């Protein structure tokens, strides 16, 4: 049973407070959907969960231990899918996915399943530069399947995806949760995730006090 908690998180970008007093809780099998208007801090929260952005204050606990204590160890626990797809234009689809799998100690020879899940087997030898935006996103998502990690952090994963692929993504998320995995995703489109918790970031927007403004 894995638990991932955030307590009283404050996010500051530039000199602007994005959200404050934010708590979250994700347990094995959970999905947490982040909603909120543009600029409410969905991406910032996901980057924070990944350890890429330091919280201004507050704590994140992985199974009760400080998640930010060991950056590399925390990184091994999660997959992050951000706005960029990190697909190298001169490497083939298979080479791209295989590299990320190897880096995480996955079985590099067996990326077939990952290609199947997002239906990109026919692109096996295609260099990244000939892929469409949606295909690149599929390659990026296939990377997540190719090396297992308990926590998936997906920032707008449906961007550029067609309906059929969104269905495939929903199935992959469900399979991951059934196996005890955790998923946090932000989305504007509908992703069907039964029993998911919803975190609305506009609940945590607050104007800082004068003292806090001075302290920044």
Residues forming contacts to another protein in the complex (CB under 8 A) are 47, 50-54, 71-73, 75-76, 78, 80, 82-88, 90-91, 95, 99-100, 102-105
Per the CB < 8 A criterion, the answer to whether 144 and 79 are in contact is yes
Q: Name the minimum Å distance from CB 194 to another protein.
A: 28
Q: Give 156 or 193: the residue with its C-beta nearer to another protein.
A: 156
Q: Name the minimum Å distance from CB 185 to another protein.
A: 17
Residue 11: exposure state from Cβ atoms within 10 A (0-12, 13-18, ≥19): buried
Distance CA 173, CA 108 (A): 22
Q: Give 18 or 193: the residue with its C-beta nearer to another protein.
A: 18
Among positive and negative, which fits the CA dihedral 113, 119, 120, 124? Answer: positive
Own/partner contacts of 116-120, CB < 8 Å, gap of 24 or more, are 117/142, 117/145, 117/168, 117/171, 117/172, 118/142, 118/145, 118/165, 118/168, 118/169, 118/172, 119/164, 119/165, 119/168, 120/93
Q: Name the minimum Å distance from CB 36 to another protein.
A: 21
Q: Give 73 or 113: the residue with its C-beta nearer to another protein.
A: 73
> What residue has token string 């894995």?
2
Q: Give 78 or 173: the residue with its C-beta nearer to another protein.
A: 78
Q: Give 22 or 149: the residue with its C-beta nearer to another protein.
A: 149
How many residues belong to the chain? Answer: 216
Q: Name the minimum Å distance from CB 210 to another protein.
A: 27
> What residue has token string 């990109």?
120
Q: Name the minimum Å distance from CB 211 to another protein.
A: 25
């Amino acid at each position: 049973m894995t638990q991932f908690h955030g307590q009283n998180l404050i996010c500051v970008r530039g000199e602007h407070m994005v959200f404050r007093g934010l708590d979250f809780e994700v347990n094995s099998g959970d999905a947490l959907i982040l909603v909120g208007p543009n600029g409410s801090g969905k991406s910032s929260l996901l980057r924070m969960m990944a350890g890429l952005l330091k919280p201004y204050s507050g704590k994140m606990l992985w199974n009760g231990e400080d998640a930010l204590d060991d950056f590399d160890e925390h990184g091994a626990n999660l997959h992050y899918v951000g706005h960029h797809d990190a697909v190298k234009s001169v490497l083939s689809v298979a080479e791209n996915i295989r590299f990320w799998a190897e880096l995480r100690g996955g079985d590099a020879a067996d990326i077939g399943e990952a290609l199947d899940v997002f239906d990109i087997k026919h692109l096996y030898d295609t260099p990244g530069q000939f892929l469409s935006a949606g295909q690149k996103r599929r390659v990026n998502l296939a990377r997540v399947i190719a090396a297992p990690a308990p926590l998936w952090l997906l920032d707008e994963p449906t961007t550029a995806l067609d309906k059929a692929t969104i269905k495939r993504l929903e199935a992959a998320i469900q399979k991951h949760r059934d196996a005890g995995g955790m998923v946090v995703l932000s989305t504007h489109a509908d992703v069907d995730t039964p029993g998911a918790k919803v975190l609305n970031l506009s609940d945590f927007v607050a104007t800082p006090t004068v003292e806090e403004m001075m302290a920044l």
